Chain A
Amino acid sequence: AQSVTQPDIHITVSEGASLELRCNYSYGATPYLFWYVQSPGQGLQLLLKYFSGDTLVQGIKGFEAEFKRSQSSFNLRKPSVHWSDAAEYFCAVGLYNQGGKLIFGQGTELSVKP
C-alpha cells in the first residue's frame, strides 16, 4: 500500500538557520511527490513538486527538495529560515492511476525561534 512518513512531528529552528524536513514514501511505481505548507487556520499551498527529470527541484519561498529513489525520500530544505516560515508542512504522493488523489504524511510542525 502507498504511504508517506514524516518522521519529525515538530521541529524548532532559529531564524536564519538552515532547515531540512524529512519525507519517506512507499510506492511501487514512479512517484509524483509534493510538498505543501499550511499556515494556521488556512488551506494548503503547494511549495514544490517532483514528477521526473532533475532530482533537485526548486519551489516557492526559497524552498527546494531532493528526490532520492534509492532512499525513497523527498526531503525539503531551506538554507535560511524566516520567522514567517513557521507553519505545518506536508509531504504527499500523488496516485496518477487513482484520479490523482494525494496520500499525505502526518505533517511536520515548524517553529522558528527569534
Chain B
Amino acid sequence: NASVTQTPKFRILKIGQSMTLQCAQDMNHNYMYWYRQDPGMGLKLIYYSVGAVITDKGEVPNVYNVSRSTTEDFPLRLELAAPSQTSVYFCASTSSGGALREQFFGPGTRLTVL
C-alpha cells in the first residue's frame, strides 16, 4: 500500500543534541511537508518542498533544516535541541496541485527534549 513512513517513532534527546527525523513516501508525490503538533494544538507547518529541489519555511521559527535530494525523501534536521522542540512531528505529502489535493500523513515521530 502507498504510504508515508517516518522514523523513528519515539526519541528522547538531551539539550544540545542533534538528530534527523526521516520521512519517505512511495507515491511519487511532488509536494512534501513537515508539521509539528504541540499538546492541545493543531498542526503547525515547519517546512514544505515542491519538487526535489525547492524548499520554503512555514510559520515556525527557524530552528530546523531540511533537504530534498530525491523525490521520495524529505528529512528534517534538528540542531542543538531545546525543550521547546518537544513535540510530535508529522510528515505529509501530496501530488502536484498542492491545496487541491489530499495530503497523506505519516504516523508521526514523538520527540522529547530533556
A74 at the interface (CB under 8 A from B): no
B107 and A43 form a contact (CB under 8 A): yes
B100 and A46 form a contact (CB under 8 A): no
**CB within 8 A of A46: which of B98, B99, B102, B107?**
B102
- Give Cα A4 to B45, complex, Å: 14
A102 and B40 form a contact (CB under 8 A): no
Q: How large is the interface on A (under 10, 10 to 19, 20 to 34, 35 or more residues)?
A: 20 to 34
B94 at the interface (CB under 8 A from A): yes
B74 at the interface (CB under 8 A from A): no
B61 at the interface (CB under 8 A from A): no
A28 at the interface (CB under 8 A from B): no
Q: How many residues of chain B have a CB within 8 Å of chain A? A: 28
Q: How far is the CB of B18 from chain A (nearest CB, A)?
A: 25
Q: Encode contact with A along B15-57: 1 for CB under 8 Å, 0 otherwise.
A: 0000000000000000101010000111111001010000010
On chain A, the residues within 8 Å of B44 by CB distance are 104
- Give Cα A99 to B50, complex, Å: 7
- Give Cα A95 to B105, complex, Å: 17
Query: Would you list which residues of chain A between 45 and 71 have a CB under 8 Å from chain B?
Result: 45-46, 49, 51
A4 and B42 form a contact (CB under 8 A): yes
Q: How far is the CB of B57 from chain A (nearest CB, A)?
A: 10
B108 at the interface (CB under 8 A from A): yes
Q: Which A residues fall within an 8 A CB radius of B? A: 4, 6, 9, 32, 34, 36, 41-46, 49, 51, 90, 92, 94-96, 99-107
